[in-house]
Amino acid sequence: MKMMRTQIRLLIVTLLLSVLAFSCSQDNKIEPDKNSKLQTNEQEYHKIINARSTYSGTTFEITKVTREGDLMKIDVEGGCDIANYKIVWSGIALMSYPMQTGIVVNYEDKVGETCTDKKKFTLEVDMLKLFGTTDIIVHVANGSKVKDISVDPDGSVSNR
């Protein structure tokens, strides 16, 4: 009888360890399309974040951030062309509940390009494709100035 209990306990422990080992994979191999304005690059993310206080390029405003299903829409004002915008994710997510991560929106000036009026654009991020989940708090940083916005999974927005 004792041997049977020991075997059952051993079986339960083995099953629990197996479940934990195979369900806790933290590898996020989800990559955005190569032609999109999105990139996953930890070094580039930190480079842009650290350069915000001395940024000398075209400044822009993040006027609104909304979530619609899997999509996060980022309305920006400034710059000449939507093609000059890029969104960089460090590839790091904090394993809290809900998870948290940060992205930075950056504008890259083209040589000889000048704009006289502030144009408005909407950038889109497929959160499910990029982060692997939509149940995540996303901190959206402005790459042209130190100003951040946080978007919760329920869609509520706060300035930081």
- Yes or no: say if 58 and 144 are a contact pair by the CB < 8 Å rule: yes
CB–CB of 43/93 below 8 Å? no
Place of tokens 């339960």: 12
pLDDT digits (tens, 9 = 90+) for 47-92: 999 999 898 888 899 999 999 999 999 999 998 899 999 999 999 9
The domain ranges of the chain are 28-159
Per the prediction, the chain carries an average pLDDT of 85
Is the dihedral angle over the CA atoms 119, 103, 157, 54 positive or is it negative? Answer: negative
